[in-house]
């Protein structure tokens, strides 16, 4: 057995230090962690942090990590979520191998152990309503009140619990509670609910059960059954740890796992609450769980975010014991870094303005060579057609430019990327006075973008040939929320009305339209874009993964 971590790529943190110390002390033969999602929604970027931590530790210390579905609430859980969660963990780059588990696989054992607690006088059936239980739980400053049913005999409790299981009572009629201490300063120890009656069909156990264990009861025991050594969860469960330990101490479990808590991921301009994400989808604020504005892994994937960028992001933010909020700019930085390195360059014109090059022979088409990646010669080159009619970006022309505008304006000369110098000689307007077309001339001696007489131009612009390019819809995504710390209680008020801008008349290179690549590309000077699943044969749709620079932060600063 080795105690040296195989890789320290993810850096060290207090949890990895604990794991290392436990291995040094020979406390465990093998490190076993788990990622325990409840299948009641899609995974989000916060879960990515937890996945990378649990699977990462298992990898680095040559242990194993279980994927365990915490499927104890059939009312909110669905097969769709079970499938999407597995796809997301794989996409992020992790694999549970044969270690796929479901808390529902342990329902029989959990039930037997509940009977044992009853026999030991440590659990009782309570006939109070949910409201009564809540009202008698006390507060942080006041103790709770004992239930009038707390002192039932073991026989009566066993009888009632068995009848709960047999389906004799309606939903909510009774619960099974652990008998701990209604005066405990820790509210979690004030006789927490272990089982509730729920006549509901379960995706895996069908109609076998009509009582279901609570999270607190099922979770730790599932860890113990799977012989998890380090049960890692987020800080909000710190106060649950005494209860976690209480069950482990009072039950004949096969192992005694220990719970460790770390700070959950919070991101500016982002809500990471499954309740809110579910509502965004149900209320139609977004186009689904995989809407590219969603912080779900499905949304990030559709947006074109590479999994390597997410892994790098969670590595950079590290694992701490105190809650904090991470600037979403950090995530965007990681996405840009990765895409800058890996993505091929192409040209697209988002808001086309037609240009007729008057001295270019009509009917002539020539092929120019464009490079696919400036830092990677192995990415090769491609051909782009040049002809008399081209499109440039509308923003790259101004009829009456301010002083520092170096792009195209009447009389001014610029370089067309990979092509020629052109000069604007005329402007054509519609009846409303809007510029609809430009007239230009080109200098045939500047082929490839340099003038033999050494004269310089101050701007290089992207462009596309009018006939040899393809129409496309381009979707520009911005932050879903305009408030840096969206209010989860009233999130609708904080939604950014400009989170999606659709450009229906963009143009893209033929090679882009023809390729079925699912990886994002850089559209030069514009950002990174990825083909969207809404594409049809006649109309490709491309979504902006991210712009080239952090313009959002600047816009916010300007107000």
Closest distance to ligand ATP from the beta carbon of 339 (Å): 24
Name the catalytic one among 64, 68, 190, 274: 274
274 is annotated as an active-site residue:
yes
Crossing angle for the helix pair 45-60 and 14-24, nearest 10 degrees? 20
Closest distance to ligand ATP from the beta carbon of 467 (Å): 50
The β-bridge partners of 189 are none
d(CA 175, CA 160): 10
Complex with ligand ATP: residue 218 or 348, whichever CB lies closer: 218
Binding mask 92-131 for ligand ATP (x = CB under 6 A): ----------------------------------------
Closest distance to ligand ATP from the beta carbon of 145 (Å): 28
CA distances from 220 to 104, 212, 288, 401 (A): 13, 15, 33, 68
Closest distance to ligand ATP from the beta carbon of 546 (Å): 21
The DSSP code for 429 is E
Closest distance to ligand ATP from the beta carbon of 234 (Å): 4
Closest distance to ligand ATP from the beta carbon of 233 (Å): 5
Complex with ligand ATP: residue 259 or 412, whichever CB lies closer: 259
Complex with ligand ATP: residue 194 or 314, whichever CB lies closer: 314
Name the catalytic one among 62, 109, 162, 264: 264
Complex with ligand ATP: residue 184 or 234, whichever CB lies closer: 234
d(CA 31, CA 74): 31
The β-bridge partners of 177 are 124, 193
Complex with ligand ATP: residue 82 or 158, whichever CB lies closer: 82
Tell me the three state secondary structure of residue 510: helix
Q: CB-based contacts of 12: which residues, under 8 Å, 6+ apart?
A: none
Complex with ligand ATP: residue 238 or 501, whichever CB lies closer: 238
CA distances from 382 to 252, 350, 508 (A): 68, 21, 14
Closest distance to ligand ATP from the beta carbon of 262 (Å): 7
Region 219-278 residues binding ligand ATP, contact defined as CB under 6 A: 233-234, 264-265, 272, 274
Tell me, by CB under 6 A, how many residues bind ligand ATP.
14
Strand order in the sheet with 500-509: 345-346, 521-523, 527-531, 541-546, 469-477, 500-509, 348-349
d(CA 529, CA 534): 14
Complex with ligand ATP: residue 197 or 277, whichever CB lies closer: 277
Name the catalytic one among 38, 332, 338, 413: 38
Q: CB-based contacts of 132: which residues, under 8 Å, 6+ apart?
A: none
CB atoms within 10 A of CB 281: 19
Task: Quote the Cα angle for 366-370-371, to 5°.
Answer: 160
362 is annotated as an active-site residue:
no
Q: Which residue matches tokens 């405990």?
A: 184
Binding flag, residue 299, ligand ATP (CB under 6 A): no
Region 19-78 residues binding ligand ATP, contact defined as CB under 6 A: 36-38, 40, 46-47, 49-50
**379 close to 344: Cβ distance less than 8 angstroms:** yes
38 is annotated as an active-site residue:
yes
Question: Residues in the site for ligand ATP, rule: CB under 6 A?
Answer: 36-38, 40, 46-47, 49-50, 233-234, 264-265, 272, 274
Q: Which residues are tagged catalytic?
A: 38, 264, 274
């Amino acid at each position: 057995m080795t105690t040296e971590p195989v890789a320290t790529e993810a850096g060290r943190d207090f949890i990895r230090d604990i794991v290392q110390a436990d291995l040094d002390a020979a406390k465990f033969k093998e490190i076993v962690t788990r990622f325990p999602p409840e299948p009641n929604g899609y995974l989000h970027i916060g879960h990515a942090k937890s996945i990378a931590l649990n699977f990462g530790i298992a990898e680095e210390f040559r242990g194993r990590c279980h994927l365990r579905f915490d499927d104890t609430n059939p009312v909110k859980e669905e097969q769709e979520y079970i499938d999407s969660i597995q796809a997301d963990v794989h996409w992020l780059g992790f694999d549970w191998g044969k270690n796929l588990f479901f808390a529902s696989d342990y329902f029989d054992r959990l039930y037997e152990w509940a009977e044992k607690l009853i026999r030991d006088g440590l659990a009782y059936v309570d006939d109070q309503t949910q409201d009564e239980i809540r009202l008698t739980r006390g507060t942080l400053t006041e103790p709770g009140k004992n239930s009038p049913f707390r002192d039932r005999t073991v026989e009566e409790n066993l009888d009632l619990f068995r009848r709960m299981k047999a389906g004799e009572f309606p939903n909510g009629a009774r619960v099974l509670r652990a008998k701990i201490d209604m005066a405990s300063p820790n509210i979690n120890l004030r006789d927490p609910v272990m089982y509730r009656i729920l006549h509901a069909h379960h995706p895996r156990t069908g109609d076998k059960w009509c009582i279901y264990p609570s999270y607190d009861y099922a979770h730790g025991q599932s860890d113990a059954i799977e012989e998890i050594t380090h049960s890692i969860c987020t800080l909000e469960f710190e106060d649950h740890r005494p209860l976690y330990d209480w069950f482990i101490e009072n039950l004949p479990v096969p192992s005694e796992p220990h719970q460790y808590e770390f700070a959950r991921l919070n991101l500016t301009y982002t809500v990471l609450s499954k309740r809110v994400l579910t509502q965004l989808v149900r209320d139609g604020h977004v186009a689904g769980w995989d809407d590219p504005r969603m912080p779900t892994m499905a949304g990030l994937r559709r947006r074109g975010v590479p999994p390597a960028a997410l892994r790098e992001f969670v590595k950079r933010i590290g694992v701490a014991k105190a809650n904090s909020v991470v600037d979403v700019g950090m995530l965007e930085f990681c996405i840009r870094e990765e895409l800058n390195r890996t993505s091929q360059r192409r040209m697209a014109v988002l808001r086309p303005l037609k240009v007729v090059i008057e001295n270019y022979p009509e009917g002539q088409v020539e092929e120019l060579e464009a490079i696919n990646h400036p830092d990677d010669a192995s990415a090769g080159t491609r051909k782009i057609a040049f002809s008399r009619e081209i499109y440039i970006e509308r923003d790259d022309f101004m009829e009456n430019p301010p002083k520092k505008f170096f792009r195209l304006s009447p009389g001014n000369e610029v370089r067309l990327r990979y092509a020629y110098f052109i000069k604007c000689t005329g402007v054509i307007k519609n009846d409303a006075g809007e510029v609809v077309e430009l007239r230009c001339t080109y200098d045939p001696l500047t082929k490839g973008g340099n003038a033999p007489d050494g004269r310089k131009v101050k701007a290089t612009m992207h462009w596309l040939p009018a006939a040899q390019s393809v129409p496309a819809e381009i979707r520009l995504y911005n932050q879903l929320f305009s408030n840096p710390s969206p209010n989860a209680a009233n999130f609708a008020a904080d939604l950014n009305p400009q989170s999606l801008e659709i450009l229906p008349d963009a143009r893209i290179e033929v090679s882009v339209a023809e390729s079925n690549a699912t990886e994002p590309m850089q559209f030069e000077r514009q950002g990174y874009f990825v083909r969207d699943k809404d594409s049809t044969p006649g109309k490709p749709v491309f979504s902006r993964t991210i712009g080239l620079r952090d313009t959002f932060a600047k816009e916010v600063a300007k107000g």
